[in-house]
Amino acid sequence: MKEHRVGIIMNGVTGRMGTNQHLMRSIVEIVKQGGVRVSPTESIMPDPILVGRNEVKLKKLSAMSGVEKWTTDLDSVMSDSAYPIYFDAQSTLRRADAVKAAATAGKHVYCEKPTAVDTATAAELHRFCEEKGVKSGVVQDKLWLPGLVKLQRAIDKGFFGRIFAVTGEFGYWVFEGHSVPAQRPSWNYRKEDGGGMIIDMLCHWRYVLDNLFGSVKSVSCRGATHIKERVDEEGNPYKCTADDAAYAMFEIDGPDGEIVVNFNSSWCTRVRRDDLLTLHVDGEQGSAVATLRDCYLQHYGNTPKPVWNPDIEQPIDFYDDWSKVPEQEIYDNAFKIQWELFLKHVVLDTPFRWTLLEGAKGVQLAEVGIKSWEKRQWLDLPEL
């Protein structure tokens, strides 16, 4: 068996997302399975080194993951040719300088989103990597969620006919920390640290909408900071300066005409729906509701005929006439799937379209969304 061993600098993986999704559920699992099999006689084996600023956290993470190599000296591994890939899961404000340093050192770059907090910086990172001749990728994990994969197949098979509307609901209650500990990091709620719902989640909705339905062409967005004070990791109260909810509308150029999207995102809502994320899609011939793992379809022929009459109990159970898409395959972790695609892209030069340009598009939607909130008007998205 021919094994391509690929060193990966994993910077910032002591954080929640970096530890859980990228290290433990992606890279460690790829190592456990014997690498990424690319032919009966060939595989790609990741060889990670953990990088961060906190030696105690790195030692703990090393013991937990089984990844023996770690360092607090980023410069030393940047100059080491044994590590051709640089991965960044730091907080957003630290990302741009680190990505540029990695590209300058000749490293291929893969990073979390948002890639920056403004479009100019995000677009510059894409151009910078191209000029340095290195490959780039940005995490767009939700494209490989089982529910969205099932929805994409229904779209590709023409189930809906012409799609004209999408309603997205995302969020849950993030405890503020006064009585119950918070389940998200405190920097998420401080604008000065790169936090905020709009910059965090509109980057996701850009690639989800672009890939499933068509290019987003305009946005109207209203943000809010509903919870004014939270408690940080050290137990200290702090003022929330970033938006913790976003109420947005998007116009999309779909393949068969305009699609109108309503998308609510909130860390201040209590869930009474199918999942933490739901996408309700309406078309002329059918509708769907996609969750993180499932997808429910209702065809024109299965659509009930309600009659408005608030004086009687509703005679229709509106959940009855939906069909759940069956499990037709085994669905792997979404982050892991994209990691495997990027590793093959680096080693074998296979196609990989989720570059830093796609990351810049997400930042653009978030930035224009914030401007829309400030101006209280619809705004178009310029070509990138």
Q: How many CB atoms lie within 10 A of CB 152?
A: 17
Residue 8 scores a pLDDT above 90? yes
pLDDT tens-digit map of 329-357: 999 999 999 999 999 999 999 999 999 99
Q: What is the pLDDT of residue 16?
A: 87
Question: Which CATH superfamily groups domain 146-292+294-330?
Answer: Dihydrodipicolinate Reductase; domain 2 (3.30.360.10)
Strands (E) located in 29-128: 36-39, 42-51, 70-71, 85-88, 108-111
pLDDT, mean of residues 82-95: 94
Domain ranges of the chain: 2-141+334-355, 146-292+294-330
| Confidence at 217, pLDDT banded by 50, 70, 90 | very high
Cβ 355 vs Cβ 162: under 8 Å: no
The proportion of the chain whose per-residue pLDDT surpasses 70, expressed as a percent, equals 100
- Residue 317, number of CB atoms within 10 A of its CB: 8
Res. 215 pLDDT band, cuts 50 70 90: very high
What CATH code is assigned to 2-141+334-355? Answer: 3.40.50.720
Mean pLDDT of 53-66: 95
Distance (Å, whole) CA 48 – CA 53: 17
Neighbours of 337 (CB within 10 A): 17
pLDDT digits (tens, 9 = 90+) for 131-151: 999 999 999 999 999 999 999
Q: Is the pTM of this model over 0.85?
A: yes
Q: What is the pLDDT of residue 105?
A: 98
